[in-house]
Amino acid sequence: MATIEYFYAGYSAFAYIGSAELQRIAQEAGCEIDHRPIDLRQVVARSGTIPPPERTEAHRDYYFGREIIRWAEHRNIPVMSGKPTHHDNDITLSNCMLIAGQLQGVDMDRLSHEMLKAHWVDDYDLDNRDDLMRIGQAAGIDPVPLLDTAMTATVRDIYGKNTKEAIARSVFGSPTYFVEGDMFYGQDHLELVARALETPYRGRWPR
């Protein structure tokens, strides 16, 4: 079965915007999504990309404002106006909750989507255990076992390995998708992901 490797963070705006479409593409192609939560802040810092707080106000307003609003309308999904209240909080617990979910065999597509949606529609704090409990419940999953193991050494080790692998493979943002090793950055490339699942593109990545 074909697989889409999906590198992202649970608080990523563009991962949220592409989430439902990614799942639709995977279902239509009969392939699986391999969820790879990463420390996006570390990845951005190592990639050479200017971190969002250091970019110009105009750049932030366009890319993290206008683009989000337009793409949400294009995908026909709700999104809050402006940045979530707790967006700058620590992202470790939420990403590790996702990894714990993988280890425990939960429906990762649903859990991931509920987390992204809760942050970008309902303004949930992804560093707050109570909010994460509600996210698990909305996904039809018992969140207690996930949160009880999220910060264990085993889960943290996987989180670190995902992040190191993303850096080694030239990932520089969220979401990033790989199909048979070919990298597609950004949810605006999902139609190319769909095509690659059917007919791979010529050439190789990395070059």
* List of domains in the chain: 3-198 (3.40.30.10)
> Rounded to an integer, what distance in angstroms lies between the CA atom of residue 48 and that of residue 144?
38
Q: What is the pLDDT of residue 146?
A: 98
How many C-beta atoms surround the C-beta of residue 53 within 10 A?
7
> Rounded to an integer, what distance in angstroms lies between the CA atom of residue 77 and that of residue 68?
11
- CB within 8 A of 76, min separation 6: which ones? none
Is 21 within 8 Å of 175 (Cβ atoms)? no
> Rounded to an integer, what distance in angstroms lies between the CA atom of residue 93 and that of residue 132?
9
Q: What is the pLDDT of residue 192?
A: 98
The amino acid sitting at 10 is G
Q: In a structure prediction context, what are the per-residue pLDDT tens digits for the chain, which is 207 residues long?
A: 689 999 999 999 999 999 999 999 999 999 999 999 999 999 999 987 777 778 888 988 898 899 999 999 999 999 999 999 999 999 999 999 999 999 999 999 999 999 999 999 999 999 999 999 999 999 999 999 999 999 999 999 999 999 999 999 999 999 999 999 999 999 999 999 999 999 999 998 887
Q: What is the pLDDT of residue 156?
A: 98
* Alpha-carbon torsion, ordered 8, 76, 106, 136, to 10 deg: 90
Is 34 within 8 Å of 88 (Cβ atoms)? no
- CB within 8 A of 80, min separation 6: which ones? 120, 121, 122, 123
